[in-house]
Amino acid sequence: MLNFRPQEKTTLVRLSNSGVRRNGRWLVRGVDFSISRGEIVTLIGPNGSGKSTTAKMAIGVLRTDEGRVERLAGLKVGYVPQKLSVDWTLPLTVERLMTLTGPLKGREIEEALSATGMLHMAKAEVQHLSGGEFQRALLARAIARKPDLLVLDEPVQGVDFSGEIALYELIKQIRNRTGCGILLISHDLHIVMAETDTVVCLNGHVCCRGTPQAVSQSPEYLKLFGGRAAGALAVYSHRHDHTHLPDGRVLHADGSVADSCFPGDGHHHSDAVENIHDHDPDCGCGHHARLHGFEGSEKRDA
């Protein structure tokens, strides 16, 4: 459900010919792009191409040595960094993680954990969380203060295929519900969110930029990632046919509630359609995602 007014195209951040230089070397240079309210911009590029540096420059964590970065006055940023320096030998609950860097009201914690499906794990120890749960906890922490801009540096690291799709779905839901802008970083070309408005491909500079479809076919992108990359870069479409309830049970689209779900249990769209899986049909994920290469007919399920 779209709760924000999509006509509000306020620019949150604009980078113009921006660059960062350290120890006599340009880490990134000549970066131009902007992020508006309700927009999802994805930075892609190989390791060391300057994605994190660009994101840090966008939110003011790093000072620019060239060009300009303009931010909306009073811009509130929620940032999930690529690495967290947490002492894992100390006990830390999900609830406590939420307030490590600043106070939050109980209601704000509850709302954020609920929005990311983590409310039932509020008292769980962070070091025992699965990769997907940990990323959701970090996401909850980032959205708790209701940011205008959410910056997610590799939010699907350590998450398996079905978890990755579920996380992208959650990120899309957060954008739809709050209308925040999202800057997403990924070096993984396997999946790019179908809802990404703009992909900026970096390699120390902006190599190419546009819709995911346009970027995947641009000569600069193909040169950087090789000919096979166009086939590897895919958008996902997702028939969201079940919801995980806070108590761990599953609510199917047909209204039934079960302790677990699996393909072929008679509650999923794909149970009636052959060959819908793009991955191991015994995976048990029940998400039934389908990948579409850009050269094929692209299809998006809302």
Look-up: residue for tokens 């806070």?
246
Q: Show the CA angle centred on residue 169, arms to residues 166 and 172, nearest 5°.
A: 155
Measure the CA–CA gap between 194 and 175, rounded to whole angstroms.
13
Measure the CA–CA gap between 276 and 274, rounded to whole angstroms.
6
Written as one letter, the residue type at 288 is H
Choose the binding region for ligand ATP from 9-17, 41-49, 99-107, 290-298 (rule: CB under 6 A): 41-49
Phi then psi for residue 210, to 5 deg, are: 160, -160
Compute how many residues bind ligand ATP; rule: CB under 6 A: 13
Measure the CA–CA gap between 63 and 19, rounded to whole angstroms.
9
In sequence order, what are the beta bridge partners of 198? 41
Token readout for 293 is: 């290469």
Choose the binding region for ligand ATP from 29-37, 42-50, 250-258, 259-267 (rule: CB under 6 A): 42-50
Shortest Cβ distance from residue 277 to ligand ATP (Å)?
Answer: 30
Taking CB under 6 A as the rule, which mask of x and - marks residues 148-167 in contact with ligand ATP?
A: --------------------
In the 8-state DSSP scheme, what is residue 246? Answer: T
Quick one: which H or E segment has residue 177?
helix 161-178
With beta carbons less than 8 A apart as the criterion, state whether 10 and 72 touch. yes
Measure the CA–CA gap between 29 and 52, rounded to whole angstroms.
13
Choose the binding region for ligand ATP from 48-56, 135-143, 172-180, 210-218 (rule: CB under 6 A): 48-56
Q: Output b/e per residue, 246-282; b: 16+ Cβ within 10 A.
A: eeeebebeeeeeeeebebeeebbebeeeeebbeeeee
**Which of 23, 89, 101, 297 is close enough to bind ligand ATP by CB under 6 A?**
23
Among 206, 223, 191, CA closest to 294: 191
The three-class DSSP label of residue 92 is: coil
- Determine if 80 is a binding residue for ligand ATP (CB under 6 A): no
- Determine if 45 is a binding residue for ligand ATP (CB under 6 A): yes
Measure the CA–CA gap between 218 and 241, rounded to whole angstroms.
35
Shortest Cβ distance from residue 146 to ligand ATP (Å)?
Answer: 27
Shortest Cβ distance from residue 238 to ligand ATP (Å)?
Answer: 25
- Determine if 52 is a binding residue for ligand ATP (CB under 6 A): yes
Choose the binding region for ligand ATP from 49-57, 83-91, 143-151, 257-265 (rule: CB under 6 A): 49-57
- Determine if 22 is a binding residue for ligand ATP (CB under 6 A): yes
- Determine if 287 is a binding residue for ligand ATP (CB under 6 A): no
- Determine if 49 is a binding residue for ligand ATP (CB under 6 A): yes
- Determine if 53 is a binding residue for ligand ATP (CB under 6 A): yes
Shortest Cβ distance from residue 133 to ligand ATP (Å)?
Answer: 22
Shortest Cβ distance from residue 47 to ligand ATP (Å)?
Answer: 3
Taking CB under 6 A as the rule, which mask of x and - marks residues 166-205 in contact with ligand ATP?
A: ---------------------x------------------
Shortest Cβ distance from residue 262 to ligand ATP (Å)?
Answer: 35
Interface contacts to ligand ATP, rule CB under 6 A: 22-23, 27, 45, 47-53, 82, 187
